[in-house]
A and B are shown apart, each in its own frame.
Chain A
Amino acid sequence: MTDMTAATPATPDAAKVETPFQRFRSEFFESRVATFALATFGVIVLLAVLAPWITPQNPYDLAQVDVMDGRLAPGSEAFAGYTMWLGSDGAGRDLYSAILYGLRISLAVGLASGVIALLVGTVIGLVAAYAGGRIEAIIMRIVDLQLSFPASLVALMLVAALGKGVDKIILALVVAQWAYYARTVRGTALVERGKEYVEAAQCLGISKARIVFRHILPNCMAPLIVVGTVQTASAISLEATLSFLGVGLPQTEPSLGVLIANGFEYMLSGRYWISVFPGLALLFTVVSINLVGDHLRDVLNPRMRK
């Protein structure tokens, strides 16, 4: 981060030197689209967190669900008296409630696997950078090999072997995504190692660990944040896909993907809402994260600077 300020020495007015963070913040919020996307994502997270307090129903408490309410159109009144603004699903659950509860699961699985994959990938990347030589070559070969297959296929194969369940899905997503982080770390390591001060540090006999933690790791942060946002969005979307295909989360852990799959059978008969509304929730989540990530890439990548 420190060399980012150094990259722009031509600040005309020395009096108002910004810290890198202030600079980053002002550049980020310069884009209205990105600001809006970030706000949207914030609202989505808030809705998910507050779900138990702001929904009329706990859709998985059987005592609160009435089968008589099944497949009601949006805006209908439930037997219990409240309005189902988004309609109800086949089992009589209020869709609005089901979606907020589903968001909780989708976000939790996506964020958990995103964070774990980031940690695992970063550690492996750093190990490669630290060890160098043969170990680095072998690790990077594995990374390349894995990246030549689409993550979705890797995850699909893993759940085929592992079976359903939250822990298994997270494991599959982590295995499918760690390589992206490892590659990012290694890319930075290559750039950093070529720099003169690191070469000088090596000549001075400064320890490898110091180089890895003082030079490589801090410089990885910006690209890791960018890769992390995009990969988390893709993890959420991938989990939804697997659950939709019936090989992801079980009915007892109804993420958005499960909700959409449940509505699929009603779609052809015109009861669109059961699939469409959970789908829109998924859409807003993934698109808002990606828009933020896309803009982060522009702001954090010094090469794109004018």
Chain B
Amino acid sequence: MTVFVIRRLLQAILVVFLMSVIVFFGVNVVGDPVHMLVNPEADQSEIAATIERLGLDRPIWEQYLLFLKGAVQGDLGNSFIFGEPALQLILQHMPATMELAFTALTLAIVIGIPLGLYAGLYPDNAISKGIMAGSIVGFSLPTFWVGLMLIMLFAVELGWVPATGRGDLGSFLGIQSSLFTADGLSHIFLPALNLALLKISLAIRLTRAGVREAMGQDYVKYARAKGLKTRRIIFVHVMKNIMIPVVTVMGLEFGSLIGFSVVTETIFAWPGMGKLLIDAILQLDRPIVVAYLMIIVMFFVLINLLVDILYSILDPRVRLQDQGA
């Protein structure tokens, strides 16, 4: 296990390092670094100072080392708009995004898995066909469009919940979140549902495929031959097998939820790092974009690592192989 974790950690560091090279080259070689990193409204002396500070007049490998040194120390430049360190700004907006993504993932699991289970157990009945058709539609609907429809229906027409913004924060066990207040919950409902939609479809399809495969396996027939109740066969024998891939994939999807939240946050004016990113792109606030990119890469790498560990805990067969390694 430890060998495995260490090996994966090394891989993770390699990926982050690689991405830092790509980001650096993207900014400094493909683009014009002066144009990319200096505030367009800056005057001549300011530009000269920045070139000096960033070492843009030095050889390229030296520039990269400078960039890397800054990055390691958490210095990815200051936002042009806010004048604050970009990294700090992103970290400030992170909790809102995490809260949204976490709620969406929960919704996807709570709604998607039971529906997928049903569709997998009774593949030919009309309800199952309806569920599957729904999941294809859910897969195809562009997130932003669904967001608009949700606002129109629940906020404008019905007036049940507010259309935009994040509600009051509550505190529980030292964690600040809008999930702990009624106002907060009413605000998060629509964006979380919007963000969850694709993942609900994904959970339905994964679960259904898993159930259908498992139901054809010998171990299910054997379990039936032992005289087990259908309930036990489904919820113990089948579910325990399917949960391994489902949990793994859904875990990996957490990263993509954070990526996708860019769209949802924009529509629902949710003050997370996705909205920060879009605003930064539109206002050419490049340090924020670079910082977001580095953060998100680290995040993905971290999630991949955690999911791999989780997988090896869930699947007894993987654990054994690892002891040998």
Contact = CB atoms under 8 A, between A and B. Distances in A.
B40 interface: no
B152 A247 contact: no
Interface string B280-298: 0110000001000100100
Contacts of B24: none
Contacts of B289: 157, 160
A287 B137 contact: yes
Given A157-B293, A283-B140, A287-B137, A247 B281 contact: yes
A286 B144 CA distance: 14
Contact of B152 (A161, A237, A267, A294): A267
Given A245-B262, A245-B263, A287-B136, A267 B145 contact: no
Nearest to A37: B136
A291 interface: yes
B140 A233 contact: yes
A150 B260 contact: yes
B311 interface: no
Contact of B31 (A33, A161, A276, A294): A161
A170 to B, nearest CB: 17
A290 interface: yes
B142 interface: yes
Given A153-B296, A241-B263, A275-B148, A247 B140 contact: no
- Specify the main secondary structure of chain B where it touches its partner: helix
Interface residues of B, number: 39
Given A161-B31, A267-B156, A290-B136, A156 B262 contact: yes
B142 A268 contact: no
B133 interface: yes
Contacts of B151: 267-268
Contacts of A270: 156
Nearest to A294: B136
B264 to A, nearest CB: 11
A241 B304 contact: no
A96 interface: no
Contact of B145 (A268, A279, A289, A290): A279
A270 B163 CA distance: 13
Interface residues of A, number: 37
A270 to B, nearest CB: 7
A260 B259 contact: no
A70 interface: no
Interface in A223-251: 233, 237, 240-241, 244-247
Given A148-B304, A161-B26, A272 B263 contact: no
Contacts of B139: 290
Given A247-B281, A286-B140, A264 B266 contact: no
B148 A279 contact: yes
A287 B201 CA distance: 14
A153 B136 contact: no
B278 interface: yes
B166 to A, nearest CB: 18
A152 B263 CA distance: 10
Contacts of B148: 260, 264, 267, 275-276, 279
Contacts of A233: 140
A286 B142 contact: yes
B196 to A, nearest CB: 15
A233 B263 CA distance: 18
Interface of B: 15, 18, 26-27, 30-31, 133, 136-137, 139-145, 148-149, 151-152, 156, 163, 252, 255-256, 259-260, 262-263, 266, 277-278, 281-282, 289, 293, 296, 300, 304
9 contacts: A161-B27, A237-B140, A241-B143, A241-B263, A260-B145, A268-B151, A279-B149, A283-B140, A287-B136
Interface of A: 33, 145, 148-150, 152-153, 156-157, 159-161, 233, 237, 240-241, 244-247, 260, 264, 267-268, 270, 272, 275-276, 279, 282-283, 286-287, 289-291, 294
